[in-house]
Every structure is written in C-alpha cells, then in structure tokens.
Structure 1
Amino acid sequence: MEKFAKTRYSLGCLLLALAQTALAASPAEQEVERQAQKLVRQRLADAGLDQPDIRLQLLSPRDLPAACAAPWQADAADSRAFSRMRFDLRCPANGWRGAVIVRAAVGARVAVAARGLRAGEPLREEDIAWANRPVSDPADLFGAAAPPLGLASRAAIADGQPLRRRQLQAPLLVKRGAEARIVARQDGVEVNAAGEALDNGHQGETIRVRNLSSGKVIRGRVGPGGEIEPLD
C-alpha cells in the first residue's frame, strides 16, 4: 500500500511539473507556439483534413531574453517536416534574433481501408472508413470532403491502413492487346471506330491505339468510360 501511495505521489509530481512547465512558457515561446499551431492547422485544412490533434515541443535558444519591450515576432523558416520545424524569433525592440526548433506530433481524421483491399480494386464507399491517424504529410492523405472513390490501389492495402495518394491511381480502363473504342468528336458530331490498344491506359493517360479499319496507329487520351479520344 505504501509503495502504491509513493507511485501515485510520483505521478502527481510529474503531472504538476508538466503543468507548471506549460504555464511557465515565456511570451516569446507562446508566440512561436501560436505561429506553429496556425501553420499546422492551415496545412491540414488545405489537405481537407479535420479533427486536428496537435502537440508541440519547443527547443528554445539558451540566450533567449526573458522579456521584449515590443511584441515578439516569429516566422517559419523551415516547416517541411512537422517533426522538426524551425522558426526565426526576434525582438524588434533590442534586435535580438534566434532560432526555435519545434517538434510537432500531429494527428487528424483521414480515410483508411475499411477492409483488406486487393491491388487494382477500385474503391467504393463501403471500402472507406474514417479514423484519426498520425499525419506527417497532409497532402498525401484524404479528408472527408474528398474521399478517394473510384481510385484503385497499386498494391494490396491492409484493413485500417491509411489510404495514401501515392498508393492509389485511376483504375486501369484499357488493357494492352484488348479491343478499344476510338471516339472522335467535333462540332457536335461523333464518329466511332474499332481499335486495338497497344498500351495499358488509365483515365486521362495518352496511349497508342491501332485503327482496325485503316491499320493506322494513333495516339489517344483514355476517357472515363475507356473510350479513346484521338490526339493526332
């Protein structure tokens, strides 16, 4: 019982010390924290991610003045990685300048696989779930405003794994050697021809296709339905 009481006392002291440290943040550090929070939240918002969870650790210079006669100014100098950002801090009143390192642990609600997914399988609504996950590169993840519906994975994705842009692509609509429909449109007139795909093609990609009637090989853009729009 005595040992348990000591453990509780030690834990209480630790929490009190952390609280006192947070309260003791200087005005300079508070300004850096404010700018870091603003920057991280903006990057998450730009990527469409919500429910942010941001925890910051500051490594301030040893010669940081205790006070500044003017408001502190802090600007991001290097924010490429949340795990190690650098902010330029300055006091306009006396000309002091220094660098503060900010380590941010960031989380947000992102799209994850609702089940195990096979490579090349187009995503449907029931394949996508939402969960809070650590975020290092917001632009590589999907938020609830723009789920990755219709995209297909390049490799198998495990249940619960975040869906990343670099892992997904438009589904393969045209297979090399398969029959392809060539559709030419001009001034409201549509002309169709049978063709043979000479390359694999995802939506929006340019591939080669042979017109089976003329034997001519042309370049065409793959449409949303797998049709080929001539570019030549």
Structure 2
Amino acid sequence: MEEESRPAGSQAVVRALRVLHCFRDHGPELGATDIARLLDLRTSTAHRLARTLVSEGFLEQDAATSRYRLGAAVAELGRALYRHRGLYRIEPLMESLAEATGTRPGLAIRSGSRAVVIAGEAVDPEAGLSLYIPLHASAMGKVLLAWDPAADPSRLELEPLTAGTITDPDRLRAELERVRARGYAVNDGEFAEHKRTVAVPLVDAVGQVRMALALRADAAELPVERFPELARTAQDFAPAFQRLLLHPAE
C-alpha cells in the first residue's frame, strides 16, 4: 500500500500521479472516497492529494457534488505532447493513408502496460485527450511488445475484453513470435467486438521500435484476407512517418 522505501517527497509525487491515473482508468468523475478505495489510501490522504492537484490545475472539483474531474493542465500537457513530438507534421500522411486504404489510421506509443494512441481519430489535439488501450488485446500493443526484448507476457494483466482476447501468457508469447516473423500484428475483435486492426512498427535511427502505426476498420469493411495487403501499405508509408517523427534531421 505504501512505498516505505521511497523518500517522503517521492511518495507524495507517486501518489499524486496515481490519483491522475485513476481518472484514466475509472473516470470521468470520482469522489475522494473512490480515490481512497482505488489506491488503498485513507480518505483524508485522498482529499489532500486531490486538493493539491486542484490547486495546480490538474483536477477540478464540482462545487455541487464535491467530486473531482481532470483539469485544464492535463489538456495543456496533451497539447504540448502533440506539438513537441511533431505530430502535426504527419496529418497529411494520415489523410493519405486513410484514403489509400479506406481505414482509420492511428499511431501509438507504449506507456507501462498500455499503448497510448497519440494520433488518429481517437485523439483530440485541442483537448489533449488520447485513448489508452491494453497491450495484449490490440494490434498496436502487440507491435510494441513484440520488439521489446524485456517484454514478459506472464507479468501482464491479461484481462479478457471480448471472447477473442488472448488471456494465456503462452498463447500471447507465441502470438508475439508470429508478429516478429511476419513483420506486423493483427487484432480481430480482441479489444472491441466487430473491429479489426493491422499494425506495423516504426523504428528510430538506431533500429529500435518506438511507435506502432495501425489501420483500423469495422470487421464488415475489413475482411481478414486484406490483412497482408494493408500491412504492406502501412509498411510502405512507415519510412515517411519515421523521417518526420523519429529522425527528423534526415
């Protein structure tokens, strides 16, 4: 419950960040008792952390209900991420890829046990909002896992999201081997029913996979026979994305 080995200041920072993560996973509005239950804290501690975050603009408190929600500072950081990573530069590429494939492109990076979609239809750069998706149940997540030498499926929480979700570590390990062998990952209704996705890796100047580029569509619009074709198209576009995002000095 408590990280006793950490200095007091570090513990407070970690707790505050975990409060923010509560809204990512359980939002959009939470009371102090909800936060205390989710983080196994005293309610008074949850109140104190939340009030500190309110004072810095990371949370807002509803005057009528006393419940908390994410504040403007979170959106500002999201907009800063969009600018600082140069994501605005790839908007024409995303449009071209969508037109070429009839799908909805997306771009993701890894954050702990999740992939964060940082560009695409799920992202609002003005509001700074992104979509978090589990690594094991998404094509983008599988890409980010497959080329991570430290990835260990047995250490992931393999939550079943649909009947097609891989929940066995050995099955996931075998799936990641297939992803590496063919150079792309697929998701056939594993995260959301009746949705299909193909994803390919984006590598930096030293050959490390840093992002995943995905093409997503409804299952009725994306037969599995198109997976290899879409993967090739995404791979054809990948160098342009890499030049703009991962080694823009070229």
Query: What TM-score comes out, normalization by structure 2 length?
Result: 0.24
- The structure carrying a bigger strand percent of its residues is 1
Query: What TM-score comes out, normalization by structure 1 length?
Result: 0.25
- The structure carrying a bigger helix percent of its residues is 2
